[in-house]
Amino acid sequence: MHCASCATIIAKRLSELASVRKVDVNFATEQARIETEGAGPSLEELNGQIGKLGYSLVSSGMYNYNNHNDHTEHLGINQGKDEKLAELTKMKVKVHFSLHVALLFFGLMMWDIGARFFAFIPNLAIPMETFNVVSMIVATIFIFWIGSPFLNGVWRFIKHRVANMDTLIGIGTLSAFVYSALITLFPPVRDLLRIPEYTYFDVTIVVIGFVVLGKYLEARSKLKTGEAIEKLLGLQAKSALVWRDNKEIEIPIHEVKVGDILIVKPGTKVPVDGEIITGQSAIDESMVTGEPIPVDKKEGDIVIGGTINKQGTFKFESTKIGSDTVLAQIIKMVQDAQGSKAPIQKIADKISGIFVPIVLILAGLAAALWLTAGSYILGFPVALSFAIMAFVGILVIACPCALGLATPTAIIVGVGKGAEKRYLDQERRKSGKIEFCGYGCF
């Protein structure tokens, strides 16, 4: 999802299905919660409803909490971490190229503006015809390679009548590009309409360059926020000692089954939840309770996966594994908190749902007003230039909408910081770097 409007579009389309009762889509965590009547539609039917718009659903039920090779669900993304990092790497290449070029053209743009208003600033030494041709080539690369997601947004708007922030960027930059290309490639048309020679290729380049930078920073911040929960997941043991065929066998944690007899030695983590059958020990349960003093355990007592065995060796029978363990439930609660919506976010979501159509209407009205009333007062050539600037300006200024992003981002960052602090506290306790007071630890 590219923006809060994407979440609104997905929720609206899924709600159109007869058996769907309620849909809650969170842009920040890239998750959807769907309540249905009865069995409800299948995953294929849901994807059939939104797949043509460029979105897809992946069931979180397919995730294995014991598999440390894939933290997809806890990163709050449809793709695996490796896929997401590969996508960020591709975005980074585009950012490095586009940002340097955009800054160059931004500087030339400011120089040209300054030369018009201040006599001490010389005009650009480059002939206007040459500059327009070079700008058109660079703008073509920008709009069809770097700005391809924005063009896809325009195509979805034409084909399916759904619009998001990418649609605004795409329509604005494409309008400026097409107008500039026409007057550059067809000078007779420009002379016939008496249109000024000035083009807007630099606007296309600068806008796409800076918006792509913003998209990259946004994607990176969302990934880093999810990593806090990944660290919390890392508190779980990765392997376990199982007593099978009268001998100890070390197996991966996801191969542990309910009813297995597990052995825990001093200084190691308890693999899963269970009940002690032989032996006794002192276990650090600060991961759950926050209390740094180890708790004595004996036969019949319950142990929790992820806690640390301080001394003594014991055997226990596993009773809960995978997503049923206490640690998995804690992670699930943190994930639910990240996906929750504050009352102010519900208001923001409602506004985001009508934001894009309103901006498109306002941009169209502004352009129409300049072409009608402006032509009557200033003449068509001057009015056309102002109409293009007003149309593109409204779309471009409105598109980086913080309204739909700021509130959900604040929630996931806050919860992510809480999860990260919990992880760091646990690490300090393990290393012994901790201070005590009468009420606990700091």
**Residue 68: band (very low, low, confident or very high) from pLDDT cuts 50, 70, 90:** very low
Residue 412: pLDDT over 70: no
The whole-number pLDDT of residue 73 equals 41
The whole-number pLDDT of residue 435 equals 43
Q: What is the mean pLDDT of the chain?
A: 79
Q: Is 186 helix (H, G, I), strand (E, B) or coil?
A: coil
The whole-number pLDDT of residue 264 equals 92
What is the spatial distance between Cα 151 and Cα 145, in angstroms, rounded to a whole number? Answer: 10
Percentage of the chain surpassing pLDDT 70?
77
Q: With CA atoms as reference, report the closest residue to 65 among 303, 409, 323.
A: 323
**Residue 442: band (very low, low, confident or very high) from pLDDT cuts 50, 70, 90:** very low
What is the spatial distance between Cα 387 and Cα 363, in angstroms, rounded to a whole number? Answer: 9
What is the spatial distance between Cα 367 and Cα 159, in angstroms, rounded to a whole number? Answer: 23
Residue 108: pLDDT over 90: no
Residue 433: pLDDT over 50: no
Q: What is the pLDDT of residues 348-362, one digit of tens each?
A: 666 766 777 888 899
Domain 239-324: give its CATH architecture. Answer: Distorted Sandwich (2.70)
Q: What is the pLDDT of residues 183-232, one digit of tens each?
A: 888 888 777 777 777 788 888 898 898 888 878 877 776 676 666 667 76
The whole-number pLDDT of residue 71 equals 38
Taking residues 384-388, report their average pLDDT. Answer: 84
> Which one is predicted more confidently, 124 or 47?
47
What is the spatial distance between Cα 26 and Cα 33, in angstroms, rounded to a whole number? Answer: 9
- The tokens for 305 are 């996966």
Residues 6+ apart with CB under 8 A from 309: 264, 265, 266, 267, 268, 269, 270, 281, 282, 283, 284
Q: Where are the chain's structural domains?
A: 4-67, 81-232+353-401, 239-324
**DSSP string computed for 361-405:** HHHHHHHHHIIIIIHHHH-HHHHHHHHHHHHHHHHHHHSS-SHHH
Residue 306: pLDDT over 60: yes
> Which one is predicted more confidently, 118 or 70?
118
Residues 6+ apart with CB under 8 A from 70: 63, 64, 80, 81
Region 4-67: CATH code:
3.30.70.100
The whole-number pLDDT of residue 70 equals 41
**Residue 277: band (very low, low, confident or very high) from pLDDT cuts 50, 70, 90:** very high
> Which one is predicted more confidently, 146 or 348?
146
Q: Element (H or E) spanning 309, and its range?
A: strand 308-311
Residue 137: pLDDT over 90: yes
**Residue 138: band (very low, low, confident or very high) from pLDDT cuts 50, 70, 90:** very high
Percentage of the chain surpassing pLDDT 90?
15
**Residue 76: band (very low, low, confident or very high) from pLDDT cuts 50, 70, 90:** very low
